[in-house]
Structures are given as structure tokens and as C-alpha cells.
Copies of this chain bind each other. A is one copy, B any other.
């Protein structure tokens, strides 16, 4: 088997294993804030975007709506977000960060940048750019293949 063939065999497997490891690293680091990787990402996203509906958040973070609903459930229970019913359309819930959560944003941002730096250590700008391009291409391929 050529090197190319064995790379093809391994790259998806590496992708999957790496994603799991990144998540567990994130979970370990953010555990003291009552956060997980998914929660931290939502926290940071909301702090940048401002209040959005659940559907908008789901689309922006590329998860399905029930996934987002459950994520919000958990963060609502631990007092990090608030569901506000939109006055003009009672179907919509606008998701706000609570003051407590706003206060954590800086710390989580720092922590998440640290994780990112750890993960990307020793990788050249060129290689990283190529990798990102390739991952985006794969993503596009999967979306197309899904039809």
C-alpha cells in the first residue's frame, strides 16, 4: 500500500480520536467553572453575538435544534443563560447570558485560548492554513454527500 493509501485510511480515524481528546481536555480545564466544551463555546458565542434565538444559535454553532435546546436547558439550570420570550412572536426564545455568566467570559476566553495554544503548539502557519482548507473541503464534501 502506498503512503497515500495509508494516509487515507488513517486521517479520518485520527480526526475522530483527536476531536474526542480535545473535548476531554477542554472539559478537564473548564470543569472548575461548571463548564464543558460545548457550554464554553456557547458562552463565548453569545458574548460575541448578543442574544439570539435557539434556532439561530443552533445554526451558528452547527448543531441540531434539540442539541441546542438541551445545552440551553443545562446552562439555564446552572444559571448561566436566560430564556426571554419575544414579545412579537411568542414561539421564539431569545437567549441571554446572565450577569454571572458575563463575569466569567474573560476567564473562559483566556482558558480557551490557552487550550487552543496548547493544541496548536509547534504547527507552522502554512501547515495550519492547509489543514484548515482541507478540513473545510471535507466538511463541504460531507454536506454534499449527505443528500
Contacts and interface: CB of A to CB of B under 8 A. Distances in A.
B129 A4 contact: yes
A130 B131 contact: yes
A33 interface: no
One complex includes copies of this chain to the number of 2
B14 A143 contact: no
Majority SS at the chain A contact face: helix
Nearest to A14: B135
Contact of A119 (B12, B21, B62, B121): B12
A115 B143 CA distance: 12
Given A11-B131, A22-B142, A123-B138, 10 more contacts: A3-B129, A4-B125, A7-B132, A11-B132, A12-B22, A12-B119, A15-B15, A17-B62, A119-B138, A131-B135
